[in-house]
Amino acid sequence: MLQAKGKFPPWIKKRLPASPVADLTRRILEQYDLNTVCRSAHCPNIGECFARGTATFMIMGNVCTRSCRFCAVKTGKPSPPEDSEPERISLAAKEMGLRHVVVTSVTRDDLEDGGAAHFAAVIRALRKHNPQASVEVLVPDFKGSEDSVRIVVDAQPDVFNHNVETVLSLYTTVRPEAGYRTSLGVLALAKKLRTDMLTKSGLMLGLGERHEEVEAVLYDLRRADCDIVTIGQYLRPSPEHLPVVEFVEPAEFERYLGLCKQMGFRAVASGPFVRSSYNAIEVKDEAQRP
């Protein structure tokens, strides 16, 4: 690993492609007044993904009730979910020609069900207008509520994603309002409720975790019967957020990829720029191969 000392190493540099497809993607999102985690979380892959005509929709606003110290999404008091949002997302996805639709959200601890019913409404709307497309949801932990997890699972997404984000020892620093065991429990419960549904999780490296701690997380995910894992480099979105402790070299990401394969994950994405929904359709297709 390379200690972080202000400058990015050569492998943490990405050109932003100019593309008419990217411009069209932005226009469609603006037309339907939709939020994306790509913009709100300052994702480094936004130019590449928009140029491919893809985006990850972020529902229930762009203000989060939690203040995770790695995330660029604003914290505050969010507005009520908009009843028209599921329909707007489904129409935008149709216009974009998406074959795989990824939907995430801010955490909505202010709502009794954490926004589970709204997720379900979005899934149903997508099925109505985009029957050819698969649907992936990246959900918050719903405070571990079985009822909320069941509401989302019963709407039958193809992929149920919930990120553990980091190792157990860093939770109080990185995710002070979340719980490691709660996140593992959400994944295990989703799989138990629907065994034929793919489950997925992800974590960031470079926050000061040790190798053995990362391996422990991966073993815990397999024990929760998680099918897919994504591993990427944490990049500091602003000076107010947690600093990068280390830049993990590409060879180390390759090592984790091999380890995950040995553990029996059905699909793995591991690399500096990997994020939960990066190349999501390719990862989903890999997990579905016999």
Backbone angles phi, psi at 105, to 5 degrees: -155, 165
Structural domain boundaries enclosing 117: 2-288
Domain containing residue 42: CATH number: 3.20.20.70
Q: How many domains does the chain have?
A: 1
d(CA 163, CA 165): 5
- pLDDT grade for 4, boundaries at 50, 70 and 90: low
pLDDT at 17: 62
CA angle 47, 48, 54 (to 5 degrees): 95
Helix H segments across the chain?
A: 20-31, 37-40, 46-51, 85-96, 116-129, 146-154, 171-174, 180-193, 211-223, 250-263, 280-288
- pLDDT grade for 266, boundaries at 50, 70 and 90: very high
pLDDT at 7: 73
pLDDT at 188: 98
Query: What would the two tokens of residue 150 be?
Result: 């069941």
Residues 6 or more apart whose CB falls under 8 angstroms from that of 5 comprise: none
pLDDT at 145: 98
d(CA 245, CA 57): 30
d(CA 237, CA 243): 9
DSSP per position, 98-158: -SEEEEEE---TTSTTTTHHHHHHHHHHHHHH-TTSEEEEE---GGG-HHHHHHHHHT--S
Flag whether pLDDT at 3 surpasses 60: no
Range 203-232 average pLDDT: 98
- pLDDT grade for 16, boundaries at 50, 70 and 90: low
Flag whether pLDDT at 267 surpasses 70: yes
Flag whether pLDDT at 24 surpasses 90: yes
Range 51-59 average pLDDT: 93
pLDDT at 47: 84
Mean pLDDT over each residue of the chain, to the nearest integer: 94
160-199, pLDDT tens digit by residue?
999 999 999 999 999 999 999 999 999 999 999 999 999 9
Flag whether pLDDT at 208 surpasses 60: yes
d(CA 58, CA 102): 9
Using an 8 Å Cβ cutoff, are 105 and 140 in contact? Answer: yes
Flag whether pLDDT at 5 surpasses 70: no
Which segment of 15-19, 44-48, 111-115 scores lowest on mean pLDDT? 15-19
